[in-house]
A = this chain, B = another copy of it.
Amino acid sequence: MTSMNSPELGTRARNESVILEAAERVFASHGYRGASVQAIAEAAGLPKSNVLYYVGSKRKLYVALLERMMARWNAMLDDIGEDDDPGEVLEGFIRSKMRLTRQHPQGSRLFAAEVLQGAPFLQEYLHGELREWVRSRARVFERWAEKGLMDPVDPVWLIFLIWSATQHYADFEAQILSITDQGALGESDYRAITDFLCHVILKGCGVRSTSDVNSERHYPSIQGKETT
């Protein structure tokens, strides 16, 4: 057990990790039903039996992946109060969500596939924790609107707008790459997109970011590189 097969990891930890990554890819693109244990095993470079040995069953594997993704999501959620600065909070949310999308595109797609199915495994989470989180944020946004710190927009639709806009770059990556004629979205693309979203959404809600000192000249790029 104290050998040195791989940096710092025991056999179990290493294999489980390989399997989780492979499974995330396969589940993300084909959904729960469309993913086969065989396909996951091949993606992980292991025999099917070995995969089942580590994860127990397809269902357990899927649930483990969803839980991992929800944990990442929860780690991102910080608390806010009505005395916080609206611009900072909104911009922070956009940037956090965008970072999550960027760092875990497969996980984001897995989540999307799960919700597309009707969220059979996530009902509880959505209707419990997440719903409360949204409602608490909504209350704060309303207070801000009452104080005239932002336009009186429906806070729930605002949260979903941010959600969709950021989620999109993982879920519809294939479409975006095809249309912009690129092989992958790079760090600079993500920065530009994030800045763009902060600009439009904050301005669109009548909020001014405290860090947005000199309104003009942001958002450089103009589409994408003329094909060449």
Contact = CB atoms under 8 A, between A and B. Distances in A.
Interface stretch (A13-21, A23-31, A65-73): A23-31
B154 A196 contact: yes
B112 A116 contact: yes
A164 interface: yes
B174 A115 contact: yes
Contacts of A34: 30-35
Nearest to A33: B34
Contacts of A161: 165, 196-197, 200
Contacts of A80: none
A1 B179 CA distance: 46
A62 to B, nearest CB: 12
A172 to B, nearest CB: 5
Interface residues of A, number: 67
Interface string A83-111: 00000000000000000000000000100
Residues of A contacting B: mostly: helix
Quickly give the copy total for this chain: 2
Contacts of A179: 126-127, 130-131, 134, 156
Given A33-B30, A131-B181, A178-B119, A153 B199 contact: yes
A123 interface: yes
Contacts of A197: 157, 161
A135 B33 CA distance: 37
A14 B124 CA distance: 39
21 contacts: A30-B32, A30-B33, A31-B116, A33-B35, A115-B175, A119-B175, A123-B178, A126-B174, A127-B179, A130-B178, A151-B203, A153-B199, A153-B200, A155-B222, A155-B223, A157-B197, A158-B196, A160-B168, A164-B172, A167-B172, A204-B204
Please provide the 6 A-B residue pairs with the shortest distance between their CB atoms, ordered closest to farther. Answer: A204-B204, A33-B34, A34-B34, A200-B204, A164-B168, A126-B178
Interface of A: 28-35, 109, 112-113, 115-119, 123, 126-127, 130-131, 134-135, 138, 142, 151-158, 160-161, 163-165, 167-169, 171-172, 174-176, 178-181, 192-193, 196-197, 199-206, 219, 221-224
